[in-house]
Amino acid sequence: MGRYVVRRLLQVIPVVIGVTFIIFCLVFALPGDPIQALAGDKRADPNIAAILRAHYHLNEPLYQQYWHYISGVFTGDLGETYNGRAISDIVAERFPVTLKLGLTAFAIEAVIGILAGIMSALKKGKFLDNVVLVATLLLISIPVFVLGSVLQLELGVNLKATPVAGIDKGWPQSYILPAIVLASTSMAYIARLVRTSLTESIRADYVRTAIAKGLPRRRVIGLHAMRNSLIPVVTFLGFDLGALMGGAIITERVFNMPGIGGQLAQSVYLRERPIVVGLVTLLVLIYLAANLVVDLMYAVLDPRIRYE
């Protein structure tokens, strides 16, 4: 197990180098000019623009620019944005917001999704099951920004039950509603996933044997059946953790939360190459870590899976 983990961690290094280069090329290939983007609709002063371009090596060929960037990264300097802010500061400012929002959403979707799925599976075909099916169908079909805007208007503006936007009320007040909105789609997926795989497990031979042996029903479902049913759910959750960290662009925008997603969108728009590369690399690392945890969880859930 230990050797497996080390091997997996070593794989991260080439992946990161490859990813940074690919993202660098992608942003490099976008048309537009970051220095002009700073000036908006008015033409940037040609002289000042030339000075800034020279300062940020923007006139040099791609490989040289990449070299400037990556040699900075290896000395612990993530570089600065074209308006002179250290990228490490920006990440330090925004990452906690995304982390709180993402983990809150993650907890909501895991707990509520799994519980709803279990209830649904146990009461298959009954009223409760149908409620869960209809509710999840609705959640999956409503676009996130619609759900977000409607809840914001009703709960925030009309009922004044939650903050309308921003994070100054801190965790949990400012984060609960955005997290629910962010979690909504995945929550519905998880509920359906649990329902399907648990239904299958319940019908399996080993469950019938356990019940015949007279084990209490709670133990049969909770331990024997659930352990097998959770494998697809854990896979989905692991993937979704990465998605939550990088994909909250819409939710962050509706609720005006200064997280990574919004920064990434903004930076791509402004052609801020160093920060896009930095943020995406960070997200890739999160994905890789989540993926490793998922793979290790398999072994915990199913003793037949071994990594040696």
Partner 1 sequence: MRGAKSAKWVAIAAVVALGATACGGGGDSGSGGGKSNGIVSMEIGEPQNSLVPTNTYETEGGQVINALFTGLTKLDGNNKVVNAMAQSIETKDNKVWTIKLKPGYTFHNGEKVTAQSFIDAWNYGANQTNAQQTNPLFSHIQGYKDLNPGEGKKPKTDKMSGLKAIDDNTLQVTLDGPFSAFPSQLSFTAFVPVPKAFFKDPKGFGEAPIGNGPFMMKGKVKHNQEIDTVKYDKYPDASKIEVKGVDFKIYSNLDTAYKDLVAGNLDIDINVPTSGLPTYKKDLPGRTIDEADSAVGYIGFPIKYNKAFQNADLRKSISMAIDRKTIAEKVFVGARTPADDYISPIIDGYRKGACGEACTYNPSKAKELYKQAGGLPGNSLEIGYNADGGHKEWVEAVANQLQQNLGIKVTAKPFEQFQAILNDLDAKKYQGAFRMAWSMDYPDMEDYLRPVFSKDAIANGSNYSGYVNEEFEKLLVKGDQAPTHEEAVKIYQQADDVLLKDLPYIPVYFYTLNAGFSENIKSMTVAGHQVLWDTVKLG
- In angstroms, how far is CA 182 from the centroid of its own chain? 10
- Answer yes or no whether residue 278 interacts with partner 1 by CB under 8 A: no
**Residue count, binding to partner 1 (CB under 8 A):** 79
CB of 254 to partner 1, least distance (A): 7
Interacting residues with partner 1 between 157 and 186 (CB under 8 A): 157, 160, 163-169
CB of 71 to partner 1, least distance (A): 21
242-261 mask for partner 1 (x: CB under 8 A)? ----xxxxx-xxxxxxxx-x
Interacting residues with partner 1 between 178 and 237 (CB under 8 A): none
- When binding is defined by CB under 8 A, the residue of 1, 5, 30, 293 that contacts partner 1 is 30
CB of 257 to partner 1, least distance (A): 5
- When binding is defined by CB under 8 A, the residue of 2, 31, 214, 303 that contacts partner 1 is 31
- Answer yes or no whether residue 262 interacts with partner 1 by CB under 8 A: yes
- In angstroms, how far is CA 285 from the centroid of its own chain? 12
Is the Cβ–Cβ distance between 271 and 23 less than 8 Å? no
- Answer yes or no whether residue 92 interacts with partner 1 by CB under 8 A: no
Task: Quickly tell me which residue has 């690392």 as its tokens.
Answer: 285
CB of 243 to partner 1, least distance (A): 8
Between CA 174 and CA 281 the distance in angstroms is 28
Q: Which is nearer to partner 1, 27 or 194 (CB)?
A: 27
- Answer yes or no whether residue 109 interacts with partner 1 by CB under 8 A: no
- In angstroms, how far is CA 274 from the centroid of its own chain? 21
- Answer yes or no whether residue 70 interacts with partner 1 by CB under 8 A: no
- Answer yes or no whether residue 268 interacts with partner 1 by CB under 8 A: yes
Task: Quickly tell me which residue has 């962010």 as its tokens.
Answer: 182
CB of 264 to partner 1, least distance (A): 5
CB of 51 to partner 1, least distance (A): 5
- Answer yes or no whether residue 297 interacts with partner 1 by CB under 8 A: no
- Answer yes or no whether residue 50 interacts with partner 1 by CB under 8 A: yes
Is the Cβ–Cβ distance between 153 and 147 less than 8 Å? no
CB of 114 to partner 1, least distance (A): 25
CB of 205 to partner 1, least distance (A): 32
Q: Which is nearer to partner 1, 20 or 201 (CB)?
A: 20
Interacting residues with partner 1 between 115 and 154 (CB under 8 A): 149, 152-153
Between CA 246 and CA 280 the distance in angstroms is 8
